[in-house]
Structure 1
Amino acid sequence: MTDHVTTHQAEEDARNESVLIWVNGQLKPRAQAMVSVFDSGFMLGDGVWEGLRLYDGRWSFLDEHMDRLFEAAKAIDLDIGMDRHGVISALLETQEANGMVTDAHARLMVTRGVKSRPFQHPSLSRQGPTVVIIMEHSQPKIPRPIRLATVPHLRGLPMTQDPKLNSHSKLNCILACIAAEKAGADEALMLDVHGFVNTTNACNFFIVRKGAVWTSTGDYCMNGITRQKVIDLCRANAIPVFERNFSLVDTYGADEAFLTGTFGAQTPVGSIDGRAIGDGQMGPITKRLRALYKDLVTS
């Protein structure tokens, strides 16, 4: 398809060709920022990461992102090798080195590090973790509401790979995204193990029905920080909000739908499985929540 868009589509910015990237304590030009082919992240997807957004000189919800990063590292028994202050200092050092003040995105990645041999066991990662911060000038540019397609790939049970874990192992979501693109959509709508609507391959998912905002129970989706901020904003501004199980039938009949994520904030959904949602444009509740969220991140 010729007009495919993604929830992470951004304005072109030539400055990104000369950004410096933080790799294990050193700032390196983009072309020289590399990790070993023996790195456990490259080899096995063994690591965790966070995406952060810079607005007006501040990293939005930095404490929540640090909480999630360190909880994820603990969950996979990974020692980041730095305390919270050290990670934040590295982030600020990279920001200052690149002269960034607003409209920037950082991907902070931690893997189990370089392995002595190309096999799975974590004891083979003996050199300590690999920590990388990729920072880019990034202004979201989504020219139209997103089109979703429901795919057969599920967000699974916690005992397989907990969907709340922001891990480097994203193949399930990538396969879902490929399936959606082959169906003529921009992103995949994924169900949970019970067949209820859950999330997309990259973002959390919301619908609006008769003035009320619905999202999944949260049992099988990423514990999104923007997701929680939207729920909190609804509660603080007398917008009915429900974390509940709901079906595709409920979804197709919604008045509005939108996605949430650190990069795109609230992204409107125009159609799902070829069915227009509302009038196919951004709805009034989505517009209101975008305004409330903007006030929150810039206050």
Structure 2
Amino acid sequence: MSTSIHDFHDDPRNAGILIWINGALKPRAEAVVSVFDSGFVLGDGVWEGLRVHGGQPVFLDAHLDRLFEGARAIALDIGMDRGQLTAAIMETLAANGMDEGVHLRLMVTRGVKRTPYQDPRVTVGPATVVIIPEFKNAKPETLSTGLKLFTVHVRRGFPDVQDPKLNSHSKLNCITACIQATAAGADEGLMLDPHGFVATCNSTHFFIVRKGEVWTSTGDYCLGGITRANVLRACRDAGIPAFEKNFSLTEVYGADEAFVTGTFAGVVPVREIDGRPMGAVPGPMVQRLQGLYREMVARDVAFRGGVRLA
């Protein structure tokens, strides 16, 4: 049975969480937005997912950089600066007594419209800002057994159609890729770029290991991933040869190891791609990178004044 990198074991504490909506903390059952909200009507908005360790949202600066860059690209006025958003996140965590094993979704839409139409000029209020924190960890069994990938027909397109650098609420191309992968019995869809080279997965970034080298796509047709960038930085710091380059499925099938990265689960091995087994899971490079990434998280937590992880 196919799973997902985002699968988690339900935590009963999540039933009583408080959700931050435009400055107010609401119980989960009361946390709602208007049916005229731009995000609901059109998927008009940007978002970030963050992990919380040691009481701190990890790599927050990089996530806020991406959020504000995306908002500026679509002429969306968030109505809050970085300090105010940071304070709102910390208020939400404190209100819920959360400091470890938490995944947080920060979402911003263009706000409420006076009629359900795409033109931003029919928006009648400020942006809608929502912060949803949950007690949520990736399933240990997923991290240990690895993922099964399937190459889907849905491509990551050119930036003049819908720029893949935008972490927007509009994710229909990724959703259709996920649907196809699930129907094929896989956990995640491997997506190609318009030229047929490997781009990314439907919700994670993709890497392979060949003869001691770490390869990932050029990045031209995928989101600027925070964990992706951190893994590449960890490779450089550790002297591991790492390359952003074009490569084909033939080179994927012949790889020694493969893995994906994402904020929710970190570095996760891949056990099979299009029916081809990928060898030992996790392999030695994946295990090394998992350790280096954990060290990066610990350093960031300590830098932000949180409790350093063991």
- If the TM-score is normalised by the length of the shorter chain, which range does it land in? over 0.9
> Per the alignment, in what secondary structure is the counterpart of residue 254 of structure 1?
coil
Q: Does 1:297 align with 2:282?
A: no
Which residue of 31, 34, 37 corresponds with 2:32? 34
What are the within-5 Å matches in structure 2 for residues 225-236 of structure 1?
Answer: 225-236=226-237
Contact persistence 1:207–1:214 (CA under 8 A): yes
Partner Cα distance (1:128, 1:244) in 2: 41
Which segment is superposed worse, 135-144 or 79-88? Answer: 135-144
Give the C-alpha shift of residue 142 in structure 1: 4.7
In structure 2, the residue matched to 1:288 is 288
Partner Cα distance (1:142, 1:255) in 2: 23
In structure 1, the residue matched to 2:55 is 57
Partner Cα distance (2:41, 2:64) in 1: 25
Alignment deviations for residues 77-130 of structure 1 (CA, whole Å, 9 cap, x no partner): 000011111111110010000000111011000000110011111101121110
Partner Cα distance (1:118, 1:140) in 2: 37
**Under a length normalisation based on structure 2, what TM-score does the superposition of the two structures give?**
0.94
Paired residues, number: 296
Partner Cα distance (1:181, 1:145) in 2: 16
Q: Does 1:173 align with 2:174?
A: yes
Partner Cα distance (2:114, 2:210) in 1: 54
What are the within-5 Å matches in structure 2 for residues 151-230 of structure 1?
Answer: 151-230=152-231
Contact persistence 1:254–1:278 (CA under 8 A): no
Partner Cα distance (2:209, 2:55) in 1: 33
Which amino acid in the other structure matches residue 96 of structure 1? Answer: A
What are the within-5 Å matches in structure 2 for residues 114-153 of structure 1?
Answer: 114-143=112-141, 144-153=145-154
> Per the alignment, in what secondary structure is the counterpart of residue 104 of structure 2?
strand
Which amino acid in the other structure matches residue 72 of structure 2? Answer: K
Partner Cα distance (1:115, 1:182) in 2: 36
Give the C-alpha shift of residue 4 in structure 1: 2.0
Partner Cα distance (2:124, 2:212) in 1: 54
Partner Cα distance (1:245, 1:4) in 2: 28
Partner Cα distance (2:112, 2:31) in 1: 15
Give the C-alpha shift of residue 58 in structure 1: 1.6
Contact persistence 1:180–1:186 (CA under 8 A): yes
What are the within-5 Å matches in structure 2 for residues 264-275 of structure 1?
Answer: 264-275=265-276
Contact persistence 1:7–1:142 (CA under 8 A): no
Give the C-alpha shift of residue 11 in structure 1: 2.5
CA RMSD of aligned residues (A): 0.8
Contact persistence 1:5–1:142 (CA under 8 A): no
Unaligned runs of 5+ in 1: none
In structure 2, the residue matched to 1:20 is 18
Give the C-alpha shift of residue 49 in structure 1: 0.1
> Per the alignment, in what secondary structure is the counterpart of residue 166 of structure 2?
coil
Give the C-alpha shift of residue 278 in structure 1: 2.1
Which residue of 89, 104, 107 corresponds with 1:106? 104
Partner Cα distance (2:10, 2:204) in 1: 22
In structure 1, the residue matched to 2:256 is 255
Unaligned runs of 5+ in 2: 300-310
